[in-house]
Amino acid sequence: MAFDVDMIQRVYANLGERVEAARQVVGKPLTLSEKILYSHLFAGNGSAARPTEAFERGKTYVDFAPDRVAMQDATAQMALLQFMQAGRPQVAVPSTVHCDHLIQAEVGADKDLDVAKNKNKEVYDFLASISDKYGIGFWKPGAGIIHQVVIENYAFPGGMMIGTDSHTPNAGGLGMIAIGVGGADACDVMAGLAWELKMPKLIGVKLTGKLSGWASAKDVILRVAGILTVKGGTGCIVEYFGEGAESLSATGKGTICNMGAEIGATTSIFAYDDKMGDYLRATSRAEIADAAQAVKANLRSDDEVYADPASYYDQLIEINLSELEPHINGPFTPDLAWPLSNFAKAVKENNWPERLEVGLIGSCTNSSYEDMTRSASVAAQATNKGLKAKAEFTVTPGSELVRFTAERDGILDTFEEIGGVVLANACGPCIGQWARHMDDPTRPNSIITSFNRNFAKRNDGNASTHAFVASPEIVTALVIAGDLTFNPMTDTLTNEAGEQVMLDEPAGIEQPLQGYAVDDAGYQAPAEDGSGVKVIVSPTSDRLQLLAPFKAWEGTDLTGLKLLIKAKGKCTTDHISMAGPWLKYRGHLDNISNNMLIGAVNYYNDKTNTVKNQLTGEYGEVPAVQRAYKAAGIGSVVVGDENYGEGSSREHAAMEPRFLGVRAILVRSFARIHETNLKKQGMLALTFANPADYDKVQEDDSIDIKGLTSFAPGVPLTVVLNHADGSSDEFAVNHTYNEGQIEWFKAGAALNIIRMKQGANA
Ligand code: SF4
């Protein structure tokens, strides 16, 4: 139904030739990551090219052509609103939307899903209709969590995808390079543009031995997080290999790759092996397993790499699975890793609340059939050994396929017998969508999850909640004990008859013996011809707004621009476009623009969100002052300090100033992704040639930008500051626009160029 066999066959048909060409230009044997990256170089309109040059890891920016795009419902809104601007009849590469983030967990799956469908109706209607129109697969609310649905349906060995969610690397469990990006990147790839990435460095993780007992795949990544910490993987792909890797199920590999996001890795990946073949066959993709088997040599690193990994990876780690203990990580950060045998001591020494109040299993990280059966084997022991679960227990299936199969096989009954509440197949408590009922939310308390992140407030919004992360089977054991200091490997529990009993080691099944089953997977295929489909957006909606194209450059230098704000110190994308309560306006550019720069500190009064309106002389909120300039037909300039726009890749931080009429951002230096986002939106992104010129900018300045009529790569522009006292300063400003990006500026936005090419402007 869902996967695209033809596309995958095309990737495999070119793979051998491209890998060989890459080997020639690189001049040595290749790792798996290099094989996939070099076989996905951009050649135009979403297609890939043959490699002709080598790229330096950690240095060179490279244009790639991913095979797929996946979007979750929160980030898909602006990505798709922007995509409409491209004027294409269909997306350039296969793409999907997944409704998972907007469903709040409260009482249980059915009721919670009904509430969400009602509350988010306009967003779901919009996403369903725009998907239908542009050839995008649409997974309805309740169908499942993006990454579980992707690994079940779309991930394939040797492929490359981007997804608008940080845990997109989950698909590395099926040998795919899968990377989390912002909505603007997704829009570009769907529109047929290149996707740019700095050639990643490579961390090799050699897994020897074999897991046993209570240890699971989750413990591999909990251990790796302890070694590398939350920043250790930044700019790197983590590649797992070795006999230990081949012993792990594909979904176990997915769990490890999923949580690579917790160490900041660009992505994580495993080589193709029989376990992946088993999973592909179990999920009705035997054709892909056969095709992958036929090109297996190119879906793993060259033999020389495995023989001498230290020579090919930038960093090498070795873990013996036979000696790996279960881990519990936390609280408040996923890299605080505790082997189970040390955890009880850590709980006591740190005065963390010992009583476990809630255990939560499932999510995109850990809800495979194997996870469910291993956890159920622990849960069943409570009933069989006369124990009662002492903590609350929730189960979040990752997809309807897993949920339906687990229900058929009695697994959900087993959880319910110990008080488990099955939640909707959605993110829910993993992303703070949890209406947790507590007597006192400020009371320090402990919860444990099989999810991936455990930052303060992440699950229930309460700063006093101590959240720990472990495998689902360890979570289930601790739910039965109701005590964080319980170690199921060594400790006994007192049952209802007063006897001391121990829990046996978990036992699981990788693939269901009767196969997977589902009644309604929740998938809506797009229309064959979407030209007649109308995108549904209510004109009165405060959450969604269709975009109008940004205007083209007027063809002259810019004069008489007002200084909007001279931002002092750090100005991240959070300062420029705050998250939190503004998240619900992510699909409504006008409404979300009311948060523009409200977190930036005004250089002249050290206050946030208070700038001088040069038209009235009065101080007002930044968005309001900018709207006054816009109403008067006057452009403006934002001045900033070093590394302006660091943080997330959020495109809103570039779109809002563009929408409200800011013409240039002039700073000491830019965070690179934000600089690119500004260029894509048709904005001028400029840097002081002499950083000391930042000091020349005065509060009442009118600003001219000269040299635009001969705007060219490598040629500085000139800025004139016309001060209120009649004096002026003139200096050079630099830019990094190439020819193509200058065309984006002239057309008003990158998407305007695509639309013109599509003839939609004719
Ligand atoms: Fe992200 Fe959690 Fe949803 Fe996974 S379950 S996609 S980690 S919010």
**pLDDT (tens digit, 9 = 90+) per residue, 28-46?**
999 999 999 999 999 976 5
The reply to whether ipTM tops 0.90 is yes
Radius of gyration of the chain (CA): 27
Q: What does the domain layout of the chain look like in residue ranges?
A: 5-322, 326-501, 558-758
Q: From CA 199, how far away is CA 193, in angstroms rounded?
A: 18
pLDDT digits (tens, 9 = 90+) for 614-626: 999 999 999 999 9
Specify the amino acid at residue 522.
Answer: G
Whether cis (ω within 30° of 0) applies to the bond prior to 691 is no
3-class SS of residue 144: strand
137, 123 Cβ separation under 8 angstroms? no
In the CATH scheme, what architecture does the domain 558-758 have? Answer: Alpha-Beta Barrel (3.20)
Q: Write down the pLDDT at residue 464.
A: 96
Overall size of the chain counted in residues? 762
Superfamily of domain 326-501 in the CATH hierarchy: Aconitase, domain 3 (3.30.499.10)
Q: What angle do CA 318, 238, 331 make, to 5 degrees?
A: 80
Q: Write down the pLDDT at residue 3.
A: 66
Q: Write down the pLDDT at residue 761.
A: 40
Q: From CA 694, how far away is CA 463, in angstroms rounded?
A: 39
Paired tokens of 527: 């229309």
Residue written as token pair 């986002």: 677
pLDDT digits (tens, 9 = 90+) for 294-305: 999 999 999 999
Which residue ranges in the chain fall short of pLDDT 70?
1-3, 45-47, 760-762
Could you tell which of 394, 399, 425, 427 is best to mutate to test the pocket of ligand 1, judged by most ligand atoms within 8 Å of the CB? Answer: 427
DSSP string, 711-725: --TT--EEEEEE-TT
733 lines ligand 1 (CB under 6 A): no
Query: CA torsion, points 110, 114, 119, 124, in degrees to nearest 10?
Result: 100
Which residues sit opposite 337 in a β-bridge? 329
Q: From CA 240, how far away is CA 231, in angstroms rounded?
A: 18
Catalytic positions, written as ranges: 100-101, 165, 453, 648, 650
86, 219 Cβ separation under 8 angstroms? no
How would you label 160-174 residue by residue, b for 16+ Cβ within 10 Å and e otherwise?
Answer: bbbbbbbbbbbbbbb
What top-level class would CATH report for the domain 5-322? alpha beta
149 lines ligand 1 (CB under 6 A): no
Q: From CA 600, how far away is CA 336, in angstroms rounded?
A: 32
Q: 529: exposed, middle or buried (C-beta count within 10 Å: 0-12, 13-18, 19+)?
A: exposed
99 lines ligand 1 (CB under 6 A): no
Instruction: Please measure the distance between the N-terminal and C-terminal CA atoms of the chain and give it in whole angstroms.
Output: 37
73 lines ligand 1 (CB under 6 A): no
Q: Write down the pLDDT at residue 2.
A: 55
Exposure on the CB side of residue 253, measured as CA atoms within 13 A: 35
The reply to whether 558-758 shares the fold of 326-501 is no
Which residues sit opposite 24 in a β-bridge? none
Which residues sit opposite 339 in a β-bridge? 327
Which positions ≥6 away from 648 have C-beta within 8 Å?
A: 182, 573, 574
Longest dimension (CA), the chain: 91
Q: From CA 202, how far away is CA 31, in angstroms rounded?
A: 9
Q: Write down the pLDDT at residue 10.
A: 92
Q: Report which DSSP code applies to 430.
A: G
116, 141 Cβ separation under 8 angstroms? yes
Q: From CA 394, how far away is CA 397, in angstroms rounded?
A: 10
Q: How many angstroms does the Cα of residue 383 sit away from the middle of ligand 1?
A: 31
170 lines ligand 1 (CB under 6 A): no
Q: Write down the pLDDT at residue 47.
A: 65
Could you tell which of 97, 104, 167 is best to mutate to test the pocket of ligand 1, judged by most ligand atoms within 8 Å of the CB? Answer: 167
